[in-house]
Amino acid sequence: MRRSRFDGQVVLVTGAGSGMGRAFSYGFAEEGAAVACIDLNYDSAKATVAEIETKGCEALAVEFDVRQAGQVEKGIGTVLKQYGKIDILVNNAGVVIRESLLRTTEEDWDRVVDTNLKGTFFVTKAVIPNMMREKHGKVVNISSIAGISALTATAYDASKAGILAMTRHWAMQFAAYHINVNAVAPGFIATPISDALRKTSVGKTIDSRIPLGYGEVSSIVPTVLFLSSSESDYITGQCIAVDGGLTCCHDMGPEFRGFDRPDMD
Q: Which residues are catalytic?
A: 156
CA dihedral 123, 17, 147, 231 (to 10 degrees): 80
Please answer whether residues 145 and 187 qualify as being in contact, where contact means their C-beta atoms are separated by less than 8 angstroms. yes
Distance CA 156, CA 148 (A): 12
Nearest Cα residue to 62 out of 86, 84, 79:
79
- For the chain, what is the total number of helices (H) and then of strands (E)? 9, 9
By the 8 A CB rule, do 5 and 52 touch?
no
* DSSP bridge partners of 140: 90, 182
Q: How far apart are CA 178 and CA 158, in angstroms?
A: 29
Q: What angle do CA 169, 173, 177 make, to 5 degrees?
A: 140
Cα–Cα distance for residue pair 120/114, rounded to 1 Å: 9
